[in-house]
């Protein structure tokens, strides 16, 4: 379903329920929109089940844009294949940077090593990018470590924090507030306006995490920041 949001925005709705099988469909639709609307596109924001499209009214009329979106949706929806990449991220899992690592292990009746192993064993899919620039929502966690968000978000979460919430995991690309449980830190910069692209993540990409030790963390540029 495609519906206008305002005079220059449309919302493409694929489902009312989160389903990882939608990710490839959304990625393909996004790719076609970027290609066919080209310079008439101001912004495109995909999520787990929707795609928000913002157009430049000086370059395309709402009627023509909506017709194009309908055509793209129907011609692309059944496509399953997607060109994606595998992104491998190093993580220092330690209570000095994983402020909630001990808490998660205790609540789940696991050892800290168990939590680390379960987090590293999975291959995650980039299902949405948002919240802050470069913040990729990755799904889905092993059932044994699924953890609800904090009741009260922290005012400060350092860049690189690897966190979990509900069935998702993510890496905070920059310093920001946040309510997810932090279990480690990735020393690799994941958002830089000087880079092209500014973030390595695209919808449909796959992400894996590998544990590193303290010396590797420091050598890669990691920093220990005390919880505020």
Domain parsing of the chain, residue ranges: 2-76, 86-219
Strands (E), the chain: 2-6, 9-13, 41-46, 50-55, 86-91, 124-129, 136-139, 154-157, 161-165, 168-171, 176-178, 181-185, 206-211
Segment among 6-20, 92-106, 204-218 with least mean pLDDT: 6-20
The answer to whether domain 2-76 and domain 86-219 are alike in fold is no
- What are 143-202's pLDDT values in tens digits? 999 999 999 999 999 999 999 999 999 999 999 999 999 999 999 998 877 776 778 888
CATH architecture, range 2-76: 2-Layer Sandwich (3.30)
Task: Identify the CATH number of the domain defined by range 86-219.
Answer: 2.40.100.10
- What was the pLDDT predicted at 220? 96
- What are 79-120's pLDDT values in tens digits? 655 667 899 999 999 999 999 999 999 999 999 999 999 999
**How are strands ordered across the β-sheet holding 161-165?**
86-91, 206-211, 124-129, 136-139, 168-171, 161-165, 181-185
């Amino acid at each position: 379903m495609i519906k206008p949001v305002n005079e220059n925005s449309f919302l493409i709705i694929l489902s009312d329920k989160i389903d990882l099988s939608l990710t490839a469909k959304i990625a393909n639709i996004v790719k076609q929109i970027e290609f066919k609307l080209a310079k008439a596109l101001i912004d495109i924001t995909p999520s787990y089940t929707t795609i928000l499209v913002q157009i430049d009214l000086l370059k395309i009329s709402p009627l023509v844009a909506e017709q194009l979106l309908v055509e793209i949706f129907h011609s692309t929806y059944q496509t399953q294949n997607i060109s994606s990449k595998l992104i491998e991220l190093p993580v220092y899992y330690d209570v000095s940077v994983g402020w909630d690592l001990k808490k998660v292990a205790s609540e789940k009746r696991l050892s800290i090593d168990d939590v680390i192993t379960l987090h590293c064993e999975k291959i995650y899919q980039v299902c949405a990018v948002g919240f802050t620039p470069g913040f990729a929502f990755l799904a889905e966690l092993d059932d044994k470590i699924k953890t609800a968000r904090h009741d009260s978000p922290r005012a400060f979460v350092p860049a690189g924090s690897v966190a979990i919430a509900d069935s998702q995991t993510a890496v905070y690309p920059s310093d920001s507030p946040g309510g997810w449980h932090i279990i480690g830190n990735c020393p690799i910069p994941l958002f830089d306006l000087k880079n092209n692209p500014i973030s390595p993540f695209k919808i449909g990409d796959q992400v894996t995490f590998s544990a590193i030790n303290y010396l590797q963390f420091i050598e890669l540029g990691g920093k220990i920041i005390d919880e505020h």
